Amino acid sequence: MNRPSAPTDIEEFERALGECVAIASRAMPDSPMVSIALCAEHGLRTVACSHERAGLLDELQSAIGQGPCIDALGTGQPVTATDLGADSRWRRFAAESGLLSLHSEPLKSDGRLLGVLTLYSGRGGAFSEETRVAVRVTADHIGLLFRTALDAAHMRQVAAQLKEALTTRAIIDQALGIVMAQRRCTSHQAVEVLRQVSQDRNVKLHQVAATIVEKVTGEPPKEARFEDPPPQEGSHPR
């Protein structure tokens, strides 16, 4: 199963995950310890937890290579244990964790595995059906949050690229005007002149243009400024 990269604004995304954990922990009737761990290059990386111990339990599984989080990631399916002491699947983890109940819910976005949402409890049979439903709903919301964060990061990247393109276009236009005046040629011919110099010197076209403008005017070309539109009424500042 494909695993996507984390959003560009990872700190903002992880802050939102922390809020999800806090809400989920308060809303679930069994009051479990809750953690969110995302897929990392080597194992898991806990990015939010309701209790410090929950994060340590995630780290334990990642270190020993066994546990419900590892199985949930491997299968893409929820993993539950209601009496860990009698469960033979993760003997080392059971012995070192001191837990009795746990539930790991895979986090997915567009069919891609992001990580796991895990509940931990020291009580046997701790998680009611109501709690498991709440876990599934929370996991779905996290997947949607991830998709939204990726889309927002992509839009910011596109906007930055557009600003850069418009800025370099303005510099090239200044240079084209100079070349046309000096050589008494058409704009098409001036473009070909810049392209030829760019190829001969193995320098980007806008850098060639900037050099021409600076040689003629004695100062670097003025860059066009493109301001972001003001936030819409009712929107929250970043």
Domain residue limits, the chain: 10-153, 157-217
Q: Give pLDDT, residue 3.
A: 47
Can you read off the two tokens belonging to residue 27? 């809303």
- Closest of 119, 150, 121 to residue 134, by C-alpha: 119
The predicted-structure confidence for 177-230, as pLDDT tens digits, reads as follows 889 998 889 988 988 898 998 998 898 888 888 888 888 888 777 665 555 555
pLDDT digits (tens, 9 = 90+) for 129-162: 778 787 788 878 777 777 766 666 666 666 666 6
Read off the pLDDT of each residue in 79-92 and give the average, rounded to a whole number: 87
CATH number assigned to the domain covering 10-153: 3.30.450.40
**pTM for the full predicted model:** 0.57
Domain 157-217 has CATH 3.20.20.300: no
7-43 per-position pLDDT tens digit: 445 667 777 777 778 777 777 776 788 888 888 777 7
pLDDT for residue 216? 87
Q: Which amino acid is at 235?
A: S
Which among 11, 4, 19, 26 has a CA at the least distance from the CA of 107? 4
| Closest to 48 (Cα-Cα) out of 142, 123, 134, 130 | 142
Only one residue has tokens 């090239």, namely: 172
Which helix (H) or strand (E) is 34 found in, with range? strand 33-39
Helix (H) and strand (E) counts in the chain: 7, 5
Quick check: do 10-153 and 157-217 share a fold? no
